[in-house]
Amino acid sequence: MKRTQRNKEFLKQLFEEVAKIKKMRPNEMHTISINANYGHYEIMIHGDDAKKKMHRPIEIMGEIHHLFVSPGQLRTYPSSKQSMANLKDTVIARGLTVHLHDPLGDGKHLEHRSDGNGMDAKEFINLAGEVGEKLIWEARHNDKMSLEAYHIIQQDIIKALKEHKRRALEYVS
C-alpha cells in the first residue's frame, strides 16, 4: 500500500470499501468480520455523538498468523538482511492475538486501556538470545509495537477488501 493511502483515515477507507456501513447513523454500531492475508479480524465501529462531531471509535480484535520482531521494528516477513543472517537478532511471534481500540477511528491513535489493549502471542521463537527477551517484552508492552501492528492490520484489511472482497468479507452487521 502506498504511503499516501496510509495517511488517509482508516475509517474512511472502510466506508469506501464496505457498502453497508457507508450510511451509518450517529448512534449505530457495526461489526465486520474479515479474513485477510495475515490474519482474521473482527472490527467493531461504534456510534458517535453527532452533537460533538467526534470520529467513530474502532475496536479491532483478531489473530495474526505470525510477525517478525527485530530491534525497532515489527514486520510481516523478514527483511532480506535478516534472511541472509539466518534470522539472527529476530524473534518470531506466532499466533498473535490483538485487541486494539482506536478512539478517533483515524488509524493513527490507540487508546491506553487497562483491559488488555495491545497484542500477545501464543508462542515466541527467540533467535536473538538476550536481546530477544527485551524484544518479547517490548512486543507485549510497548505502545509503539502495538501501533505498528495496527498499521499492519489496517493495510492487510484494506488490501484484502480491494483485491478480493467476496472472499475477505465474511460478515457485516
Q: What is the pLDDT of residue 5?
A: 47
Question: Beta partners for 73?
Answer: 70
First to last CA, the chain: 27
Q: What is the pLDDT of residue 1?
A: 45
Q: What is the pLDDT of residue 67?
A: 93
Residue 109 CB partners (closer than 8 Å, separation 6+): 102, 103
For the chain, strand residue ranges (E) read 30-35, 39-45, 58-70, 73-75, 91-102, 118-126, 169-172
| Residue 116, all three cell numbers | 488488555
Q: What is the pLDDT of residue 82?
A: 82
Where are the domains positioned within the chain? Answer: 28-168
Specify the pTM: 0.85
Residue 45 CB partners (closer than 8 Å, separation 6+): 11, 14, 21, 24, 29, 30, 31, 32, 56, 57, 58, 105
**Average pLDDT, rounded, for the chain:** 83
| pLDDT block averages, 10 residues each, the chain of length 173 | 54 81 77 92 80 71 93 87 84 92 80 71 92 89 86 92 84 72
